[in-house]
Amino acid sequence: MISRVLVIHPGGLGDVLLALPAIRALRAAFEGSDIVLIAASGIGTLLKVCSEIHSLISLERGGLSGLLSDDSDPPEWLRHQLIRTELAVCWMRDMDGRLARSLRTVGVREVIVESPFQTMNPLQHQSDRFLASVKTITGSTEKVGPLRLPIELMDQGKGLLEALGMSEGRPVVLHPGSGSRHKCADPSLFVQAARSLSAAGYQPLVVGGPADDDQVSAVQAQISELAPSVTGLELLPMAGLLAHARLFIGHDSGLTHLAATLHRPTVSIFGPTSAERWASRGGHVAIMSAEACRCDGWEAVEACREKRCLRVPEKHLLEMCETLLRCDCDAVNQRGNRPRRLVQPR
């Protein structure tokens, strides 16, 4: 029996959440084994408190750099952490094979290294890529289900909303950022959505991550009287807050993936990135886009001023919000794992 499985994923929040079905497949295939994750501290801690993994070795402590150092052997503390690890699944590039060699040095018998960015099938969904990399050892299909927060986090999120004067069942969370302004629709789209949803009796709340100050400020400057904002919140309390959202509206971002993984009704606006590859899944997710992006490569995206791919009409966005606000998303999820629909206004 394998006593310990190591998973290495140095990606951001959204990337790691897209790997969650594969992590669950590993946990099911090696029931009783410890699942150890090397990842960013906040992301790994979230998965640990939700019982998706058993142990965390943080990137910030040097969990990965210790395996990639020029020294012939990893540091002693890391060797001790990895003792009795028989299998390692590494979702990253290992161009010179150094990572695989270091893992075998500490006694790992089987090492799987699979870059999530390989381009053999550029439209293959990212979750399917992760699942395919472990299929030979798990023989398992995707494990569908929400990320379930402990009651303490749920209570903390509820308390945060109550402190903002928000009633249960009314908060609509808007995330106008994405970590890259080139993936963001014009702030006016979120301003109009907030005003319309407020007029319908819902309570808009603007949230932002570490790189979203400009987008949040642009929205808040116009609707501060009806929508408070929450920024600078650590990941665990943010998860608790999002778990109480009646609806979430965002872009291709980590927070959008988090809301969708918590199975909150989610509108995800896509532009220059591929929804077919990167969008969250589930009947509670609605993917919206304008016309197809015509930019050839990310440099062209950064230089583009028109951003026609992100010009989702306000009317279509509000129609989708109304649809999700009316639906029983849990019942929808039982019918399949595809997003509700892909809207491409002409």
Domain ranges of the chain: 4-138, 151-343
DSSP class of residue 8 equals E
Tell me the pLDDT tens digit for each residue of 100-155: 999 998 889 999 998 877 666 667 899 999 999 999 898 866 667 899 999 999 99
Whole-angstrom distance, CA of residue 260 vs CA of residue 24: 17
Cβ distance 252 to 273 under 8 Å?
Answer: yes
Residue 243 exposure: Cα atoms within 13 Å on the Cβ side: 23
Q: What does the pLDDT read at residue 74?
A: 82
- List the alpha helices (DSSP H) in the chain: 13-18, 20-29, 41-49, 65-68, 76-81, 98-105, 126-138, 151-163, 187-199, 213-223, 235-242, 254-261, 275-278, 298-303, 314-326, 329-333
Sheet strands (E) in the chain: 4-8, 34-39, 55-58, 87-90, 110-113, 171-174, 203-208, 229-231, 247-251, 266-269, 285-288, 342-343
3-state secondary structure of 247: strand
Output the pLDDT for position 346.
41
Contact 58, 44 (CB under 8 A): yes
Over residues 44-54, the pLDDT tens digits come to 999 999 999 99
Q: Residue 227 corresponds to which tokens in the numbers above?
A: 């929508």
Give the SS3 label for residue 324: helix
Residue 192 has a pLDDT of 96
Give every residue of the chain whose pLDDT is below 70, as ranges.
71-72, 118-122, 140-143, 328-346
Question: Nearest 5°: phi and psi at 32?
Answer: 95, -15
The two structure tokens encoding residue 294: 């015509």
What pLDDT score was predicted for residue 208? 92
Contacts (Cβ under 8 Å, ≥6 apart) of 96: none
Q: Using CA atoms, how far apart are residues 85 and 36, in angstroms rounded to an integer?
A: 9
In which residue are the tokens 């990337």 written?
A: 15
| Token reading at 267 | 């509108």
The DSSP bridge partners found for residue 5 are: 35, 87
pLDDT at 341: 53
User: Is the Cβ–Cβ distance between 21 and 127 less than 8 Å?
Assistant: yes
A 10 A CB-CB count for 88 gives 26
What DSSP designation does 178 have? -
Q: Which CATH number fits domain 4-138: 3.40.50.2000, 3.30.70.3290, 3.40.50.720, 3.60.15.10?
A: 3.40.50.2000
CA 33 to chain CA mean position, Å: 25
CATH class of 151-343: alpha beta
Same fold across 4-138 and 151-343: yes
Alpha-carbon distance of 313 to 259, in angstroms, equals 23
Give me the amino acid identity at 31: E
CA atoms within 13 A on the CB side of 102: 24
pLDDT of residue 305: 86
Q: Residue for token digits 């606000």? A: 325
Report the half-sphere exposure of 133 (CA within 13 A, side-chain side): 26
The tokens for 50 are 């939700």
End-to-end CA distance of the chain: 56
Spatial neighbors of 246 by CB under 8 A, at least 6 apart, are: 169, 170, 171, 172, 202, 264, 265, 325
